[in-house]
Chains A and B, each alone.
Chain A
Amino acid sequence: GAGVSQSPRYKVAKRGQDVALRCDPISGHVSLFWYQQALGQGPEFLTYFQNEAQLDKSGLPSDRFFAERPEGSVSTLKIQRTQQEDSAVYLCASSTTPYGGSHEQFFGPGTRLTVL
């Protein structure tokens, strides 16, 4: 079956532009996570959705970052007025269950954002 997909795979933005990154989770997966992976680092948690509810946004680095999942499936991460420090790979992951446990998170290929 289809895995987690993300689009675009690559995005180049000029500083100050707004960008929108899309995540299509595996069908039926309740949980959806966004992570930010800077060059040479491990992924860092940004935000979590359980169906359409955003239950944790503690990792969002500033109020320029906004995420939504209005129908409990596709999610969009929006970054307003992009800055150079926003350059990173943005990973989306989904999971079957509404809680953590040992259940696997399935990752998408990521969107590589470069802010010039």
Chain B
Amino acid sequence: QVQLQASGPGLVRPSETLSLTCSVSGGSIGTYYWSWIRQPPGEGLEWIGYIYYTGATSYTPSLKSRVTISVDTSKIQFSLNLRSVTAADTAVYYCARHILEPGREAFDIWDQGTMVTVSS
């Protein structure tokens, strides 16, 4: 049973970098894509981007200039870096397994979410 567990600071100062790491347990990081998704308080979900185990990435256009997603296959984890944050980046951040294969496309496994507040 694959499980995801994210870790990182819950408070980030404005203009600094938000960094989160998602550890994968119970399965391999290979073969699958891995996404970050966020949800501001009281709002809807926003897909941030994904990474394949090879390191290939795709980012949502509105965040592309500030975001980097990386993978460490040896540690079976992937990470999110979001630079120059503002209060608008305050949200619950989810990491998720992203099934991407012919005839099947979905986020099928999610972590419990990490609340990150941007404040001085």
A and B pair up = no
| Chain B interface (Cβ < 8 Å from any Cβ of A) | none
| Chain A interface (Cβ < 8 Å from any Cβ of B) | none
